[in-house]
Structure 1
């Protein structure tokens, strides 16, 4: 009896959750085009800096040496790009790129793991 109640409760939750997400999908289907058209553009210099920062961050992620400050600065630059704030994009993207290059350079340092 308890198993049946648990199964019915789970099915009800899944059903209600599915209905809620369908409403979100229906309301979001028209908004991306409107949001994309209304999104302000950033300067070409800011776009180039953001692209470079994303490439540098991808290299650090590939080598598993990404610093949290790099990731935070890149997210801030991407958020600023969505709002069209070129100055903030430049500032955060340049910082993220510099941090990524430093973290890649840190791979060349000697190991501090002396207890192996």
Structure 2
């Protein structure tokens, strides 16, 4: 189920149907198979919906998914912390924003280039 939801969500995201993408990612996330990449996809989709709809509801959903992705990932997934920092900053959580930026710095392997 999670793989099907991930694929359907990515197709909807690519087609810029962000509401459908959020639904597919949310269903896949709720299946009990926690996966950092799936949670990242859900968080990013919620960030885009928050931007388009000026909705703090979607910002809070993004923060929840991105926090969970950060916690469950054995190896830090680059971009989770910076995206989480952006969502928390948008909610006015300045201390969390600063912490997320610092954490992002250390999530990249040594010698990697962006």
Fold match (TM-score > 0.5): no
Taking structure 2 as the reference length, the TM-score comes to 0.30
Question: Larger Cα Rg: Structure 1 or Structure 2?
Answer: 1
For CA contacts below 8 A with separation 6 or more, give which structure has more relative contact order: 1
